[in-house]
A = this chain, B = another copy of it.
């Protein structure tokens, strides 16, 4: 919840978690129950008079509060002799066979149609008689309340963390005598208070097997300004306490090196009483900026007088400019795009951000354990910002809400976790006929599905962008505060850059995996690698030397490939059974893999083994139900990637003219600049999907090219405004 200060000043607010009385939610009674699949549609409305509110939910809608409540209650009944601590409850998507049959019928307009069951994926701990929690996963049929599947996860895997666990770490640190004793070695300046920043415990040491840990990065906050948002990352303390979560106990406190270049990698910090004396405030909240904010930025508004061009139905179906798709939200992946059609033709079955890893490159222990898997460890949906009007988008915005559950089983709304809006992206296409002076110029309007996650210090802004020419971009913006550690006065480091006084920002990478499940005019697709190659001058094929050869080769077996910009390597997802009537080529979409640096960790080390997905730019697998996570189902404290995309590839499936999935991997090697401090300007990267002989002409050729009559011309020197546009 935003503190009172921000409520009055008009600044933005991100979190508004408020658990509600779940028993006040209406729980529809089931009038009848069918074995297997149930049917919905107008003619069945009378059969389920009391439950239509629930049963008319589309299979791709996110879970509702009522559904969470049903699933929770089913679990409680199933474990009535035990103590349950909840982690997540969200929709278990139907198997593709079932869902695509449903979607096909929906697109054909066939009513009534058979709808797959609404299933809840439930993740929870059961507190055993030994007081140790055992992690369970269960699938509950929401309608019947029956537990269809139930799995006790072995101790070799760890459940994703929850924010409740982070709160526990902070609490345990506060009460830990050993941690408080360790802190006494440092004299904090007057008015400074210790802050514990919880982090996943990355890359388990072997001796620590089978236990659940959290680590805390420790900072001090200047409280003299009375502002709870004073930036504590500017005052890092060289300590990392480690908590055994099951014992609720700090079991080890690691002392961090604060040396620089030449100080040796095993040298720990000396006992420095005045560890923060060379640090300095680095504020980012506007009221704490020494010189305030700049005054010469004039207002720029995006105004849509006739409302948005999009339409949203069922809180999930989006229709805009010939696009039609569904949006859902879950705790792990955040926003997911489903069943994407353009002008009635199928393009994608599912599009998601699957995983990312952020390994740090400081050679000194224990920094090798700084390696986050933001989707598998923490959950992008869990960490999603509650967006607010006027803050994260301009123009006319549709927000999507979600629901979450805490460990006690309380249900809470996650408001505004996705924003949907249109934006102008400059000229879309233009041609000027120089003979007549006639210019036809269209704007490129985009539809943006955006969500933003905060992971401790760092932010990622993810956006799926649809354009009028049939293109889809998946964009990431990295921002937030770089991870900082203390460095002695006057020193510099091989492991990062000194970005503020006493603050070392360590070198690191961010490597993302996007999962693209194409359905190019159907599910049987082929991935074709296409390259352009120089051809040596020769009389037979290239007598004048200008020719280059376009080589196409289908990927026949599941595998990986890397970017090769020197050959203009692109990958086309095509349907070989459907030929473009103009070109004769199979209809398709192309993906140009961004040529970015892959994982730099040594292949022998844990950082590398945990993230096989980060070792190649493109993976192609055969679709398998529930195979959604590039880095595997369990990443927290993992020592190697299990069940991730590398394992999927290892099956050696045929992927030619099959139901294929592409996994696009790209990254940024982030060696911080001083300019990244105290909050870094967005670093933007995109993956582009473009139709390639999917259509029979430019699909945006019918975008109107009318003049924008609200534009104005500056008519004098300076910034004197303005002459309006005229017809």
Contact = CB atoms under 8 A, between A and B. Distances in A.
A2 B436 contact: yes
B305 A302 contact: no
A15 B580 contact: no
A687 to B, nearest CB: 14
A497 B584 CA distance: 9
A314 B457 CA distance: 46
Contacts of A671: 530, 532, 550
A555 interface: no
Contacts of A6: 436-438
A270 interface: no
A602 B545 contact: yes
A428 interface: yes
Contact of A439 (B13, B359, B727): B13
Contacts of A681: 428-429, 444, 467, 469, 471, 698, 700
Contacts of A607: 545-546
Contacts of A303: 300-303, 710
B673 A693 contact: yes
A360 B430 CA distance: 22
Interface stretch (A147-155, A240-248, A637-645, A712-720): A712-720
Given A229-B438, A713-B389, A368 B545 contact: yes
Interface stretch (A53-61, A67-75, A79-87, A476-484): A476-484
A202 to B, nearest CB: 10
A300 B444 CA distance: 11
A305 B397 CA distance: 21
Contact of A12 (B530, B533, B705): B705
A321 interface: yes
Interface stretch (A99-107, A120-128, A562-570): A562-570
A691 interface: yes
B461 A719 contact: no
Contacts of A302: 300-303, 424, 710-711
Interface in A26-77: none
Contacts of A492: 583-584
A395 B301 CA distance: 9
Interface stretch (A88-96, A182-190, A535-543, A654-662): A535-543
Q: Is the interface of A mostly helix, strand, loop or mixed?
A: loop
A469 B675 contact: yes
Given A304-B301, A582-B498, A712 B397 contact: yes
A595 to B, nearest CB: 4
A302 B303 CA distance: 6
A714 B678 CA distance: 34
Contact of A441 (B12, B445, B532, B706): B12
Given A300-B445, A302-B424, A695-B675, A721 B308 contact: yes
Interface string A664-694: 0000010101111111111000000011111
Contacts of A498: 582-584
Interface string A387-407: 011111111111100000000
A289 B723 contact: no
Interface stretch (A131-139, A250-258, A278-286, A511-519): A278-286
B437 A14 contact: yes
A499 interface: yes
Nearest to A305: B299
Given A14-B432, A544-B605, 14 more contacts: A2-B437, A289-B701, A294-B321, A299-B710, A312-B719, A363-B543, A391-B441, A397-B711, A429-B479, A429-B682, A430-B479, A545-B604, A545-B606, A546-B605
